[in-house]
Amino acid sequence: MAFTFYKYHGTGNDFIVIDNRENLYNKKDTKLTAHLCNRRFGIGADGLILLENDQRNDFKMVYFNADGNESSMCGNGGRCIVAFAKFLNIINRTTVFNAIDGAHNAIIENGIVELQMQDVKKIEDHSTHLFLNTGSPHHIQIEQNVDDIDVKSLGAKIRFGSPYNEVGSNVNFVSKINTNIFKIRTYERGVEDETLSCGTGVTAAALAMHYREEALGENISLKTLGGELKVRFKKVKNTYADIWLIGPSIQVFKGEVL
């Protein structure tokens, strides 16, 4: 099966992106998806994204982790597929697209994509960490200096440990730089390693820091290993609403799978 693919990244979180509006890609072939995402024997990526037709919205996003399995929402992947849709002339400046967790609004201008995330109505605050779902589940752990953390080792231990076990959670380690700037490192389930950036993790961390009153404003910057992302939101009673993940999305190259 021959097809064209594009490589995109959002602050180092990289994806194979395919126009699948004619349903040429076999979504059930987990081995193929895992092979393509393999950095030694395939193209190499944190995940694979299909752009498909949608009856109600401009397009549909289908996201697979690097292990080949379809996964929950990916924030940076969502921003990248918006840039891809713009490249394909499916959209102009604004769009509404469908993803596994529902419809998302987005804006793209000068290479910067603003992606509206789903509202968050519940944050679990534990003595050692916080837990919330921003389209994907996230464990948030505050550390004095994230540079000192063995993210792969500790992240895997938490991700497969109680109460997450086999279902698992993404694991984020966060350090405060100042009132509204934080540094974050993330272990992603499905990739089973540290990634340079995680959009849903950045979103979760921003809300968690505001919930803990470590952040005072509703516009927060988070420095990932791959670059800086911004999150803005509104706190409405006990709900975080109007949440936007903001940052660059870059097309790296185009290729053919033969």
Would you list the DSSP string of 69-107?
Answer: -B-S--HHHHHHHHHHHHHTTS-SSEEEEEETTEEEEEE
Neighbours of 12 (CB within 10 A): 15
Instruction: Tell me whether residue 198 is one of the annotated catalytic residues.
Output: yes
Place of tokens 């994907």: 136
Catalytic residue among 34, 73, 74, 243: 74
Instruction: Tell me whether residue 74 is one of the annotated catalytic residues.
Output: yes
Place of tokens 């509206």: 116
Three-state secondary structure call for residue 104: strand
Burial of 100 (0-12, 13-18, 19+ CB in 10 A): middle
Catalytic residue among 198, 206, 220, 246: 198
The answer to whether 108 and 250 are in contact (CB under 8 A) is no
* Closest-CA residue to 85 (of 112, 115, 61): 61
Structural tokens at position 147: 């540079």
In angstroms and rounded to an integer, the radius of gyration of the C-alpha atoms of the chain is 17
Positions marked catalytic: 74, 198
